[in-house]
Chain A
Amino acid sequence: MNVIDAFVKKNVEWLRATGPDSDVVVSSRLRLARNLKDFPFLQKLVPSQQEQIVELMRGVLEKSTVLKKSHYLRYNDLTELDRQFLLERHLISREHASEKGHKAVAVTPDEQVSVMVLEEDHLRLQVFQSGLNLTESWRVVNQLDTEIEKNAEFSFSPTLGYLTACPTNVGTGLRASCMLHLPSLVLTKQVHKVLQALAKLNLAARGLYGEGTQATGNFFQFSNQMTLGQQEEEIIDNLASVIRQVVDQEREARGFLGEKRKAKFEDQIWRSLGTLKSARVISSSEATQLLSLLQLGILMGLVKSNLTHQDLNALFLLIQPAHLQKISAKTLNSTERDVRRADLIREKLTQVNL
């Protein structure tokens, strides 16, 4: 699959560690859920209708300027590894990757925009940005939605808004989320307070890969829970203002660790680097955890080398199972992957001295 192989060689645009508050906010993502008026929702679609929608959407999405030069990938043409690879890059969801039936995804060459066809809803429009950049994401996804709507009629009720397969998405169909790297709040054991406060504000906290996944390596995904009764901009503003406060808290905790807990803190960072530089077998969860601490060391100017924040962001992705297999160009079982992962990390960290 040539398109996928081209992605393997590239860095993900929204992981380039730029944009506002990118020392804490890895990326921002918006998604809109939409359904076509002339078809029942996913669970009631017969295979011929699924096929029809996949073909229909190819034509509709082609006309969008936001999706210019995008690739339209049909799942029937993809291997399971390809789908896992797209999932690790967040271009498709876990549910979309694993469920059977006709499905497709449109992806722009810079990977900042993707449209999942036949996920839980007929269409899931997604826009990614590096850093805290929800406003720009909204501008893009709003334009994309307007363009698609010119050639496809969506299920819409004047009172309930956009109708979705699950009532938790009805209304705007909008889910805004930010991926945050909060190592200092975890180290200072304050993160549970943040999570509690979040729940009170009706925001959800999830792991790296969305619904049903656990927080690993100090990465958290924060998103709005309610999709009805507020304008899109309000939902986004609310989330952004909460995120800004969490960013401040994380920075404060970093300062505290660097000043008041200097010896212990530096010990943890350097030990992490030591393990990463010497491990011969390493699981993805251990690697993510240690790389997270190394990232913190780089951000705080403790670990000085040519290795940048962006390089490390890229490495978080490369050590994932499907990525490891793609760069090795062969299938690896779990034990082989742990060895390959350790090799790759040592290779990438040669320029970093203990």
Chain B
Amino acid sequence: MICNLCGTQDASIHLTEIVNDQMIEIHLCEACAQEKGTDFKTHFNLTDLLAGLADAGKTSKSPEKRFAGKCPQCGITYEEFGKSGRLGCAQCYDAFAKMLLPLIKRVQRSTAHVGKRPSRVSAETGGGRPLQLLQERLAKSVQMEEFEEAARLRDEIRRAEEKSAKPAKGKS
């Protein structure tokens, strides 16, 4: 593939942008990419891309399907999020769930957190990470000779086992 700018060199950098549902591809050689570097950086930063994604979802539907609501907590509109790429508060995740979840799915390829939890949340929901995951991690860290990490995991497993051994505190 030949560079779109100089038309002589082989293109090694490929950029894709979605504008109003139209996919635009740009192919550049290293020299031109470097020259245009700052321009493209401002063009293709993450905020813009996110805003673009939020936008794409909006314009592809008929205008009446546009979401006009506000987050009841902080008052931000989805359009404002589309512009800034930043949410107003934690409740926005609920308020805009319908649009946000597909967006998160696209960016993150997942919508389920499996990592660390605050200890007070773990206590409420009865346990931290699943025991099986912890044991897999432990085996791996021993194999990698990461003994400090292994010791930490061993303690976490011990705590998890103690917790599950205790009868659950019911309210009855």
- Is B truly associated with A? yes
Residues of A within 8 A of B (CB): 35, 37, 40-44, 120, 135-136, 138-139, 142, 145-146, 149-150, 153-163, 165-168, 170-172, 174, 189, 192-193, 195-196, 202, 211-214, 226-233, 237
**Residues of A close to B73: CB separation below 8 A:** 40
In order of increasing CB-CB distance, the 6 nearest A-B pairs are A229-B110, A161-B113, A40-B89, A155-B90, A228-B108, A172-B115
Given contacts A40-B88, A44-B74, A160-B93, 9 further A-B contacts (CB under 8 A): A41-B88, A120-B86, A150-B119, A155-B90, A158-B117, A160-B104, A166-B85, A189-B30, A212-B41
Residues of B within 8 A of A (CB): 12-13, 30, 34, 37-38, 41-42, 45-47, 50, 73-76, 84-90, 92-93, 100, 103-104, 107-121, 125, 129, 133, 137, 140, 146, 148-149, 152
Is B88 within 8 A of A43, CB to CB? yes
Chain A: CB-nearest residue to B45 = A212
Is B45 within 8 A of A170, CB to CB? no
- From residue B73, how far is it (CB to closest CB) to chain A in Å? 7
CA distance A150 to B120 in the complex (A): 9
Is B86 within 8 A of A227, CB to CB? no
CA distance A155 to B93 in the complex (A): 11
Chain B: CB-nearest residue to A36 = B90
Is B84 within 8 A of A43, CB to CB? yes
- From residue B119, how far is it (CB to closest CB) to chain A in Å? 6
Partner of B87, one of A41, A139, A192, A232: A41
CA distance A227 to B46 in the complex (A): 14
**Residues of A close to B103: CB separation below 8 A:** 167
**Residues of B close to A150: CB separation below 8 A:** 119
Is A214 within 8 A of B37, CB to CB? yes
- From residue A234, how far is it (CB to closest CB) to chain B in Å? 8
**Residues of B close to A214: CB separation below 8 A:** 34, 37-38, 41
CA distance A181 to B38 in the complex (A): 21
**Residues of B close to A228: CB separation below 8 A:** 104, 108, 110-113
CA distance A229 to B34 in the complex (A): 34
**Residues of A close to B89: CB separation below 8 A:** 40-41, 44
The verdict on A226 contacting B114 (CB below 8 Å), with A156-B121, A192-B30 known, is no
The verdict on A171 contacting B100 (CB below 8 Å), with A44-B88, A146-B119, A212-B45 known, is no
**Residues of B close to A44: CB separation below 8 A:** 74-76, 88-89
- From residue B1, how far is it (CB to closest CB) to chain A in Å? 12
Chain A: CB-nearest residue to B30 = A192
Is B133 within 8 A of A231, CB to CB? yes
CA distance A145 to B86 in the complex (A): 23
- Complex A-B: 10 CB contacts under 8 Å: A37-B90, A40-B90, A156-B118, A160-B104, A160-B112, A160-B113, A170-B108, A212-B45, A228-B104, A228-B108
CA distance A138 to B47 in the complex (A): 27
Is B12 within 8 A of A196, CB to CB? yes
- From residue A140, how far is it (CB to closest CB) to chain B in Å? 11
Is A229 within 8 A of B108, CB to CB? yes
Is B115 within 8 A of A161, CB to CB? yes
Is A41 within 8 A of B86, CB to CB? yes
CA distance A312 to B104 in the complex (A): 42
**Residues of B close to A170: CB separation below 8 A:** 93, 104, 108, 113
**Residues of B close to A43: CB separation below 8 A:** 76, 84, 86, 88
Partner of B116, one of A167, A172, A237: A172
**Residues of A close to B111: CB separation below 8 A:** 159-160, 228-229
CA distance A149 to B120 in the complex (A): 9
Partner of B112, one of A189, A229, A233: A229
**Residues of A close to B93: CB separation below 8 A:** 157, 160, 163, 170
The verdict on A168 contacting B46 (CB below 8 Å), with A156-B118, A163-B90 known, is yes
Is A171 within 8 A of B115, CB to CB? yes
Partner of A159, one of B84, B112, B116: B112
CA distance A10 to B103 in the complex (A): 45
Partner of A139, one of B76, B90, B152: B152
Chain A: CB-nearest residue to B146 = A135
CA distance A135 to B85 in the complex (A): 31
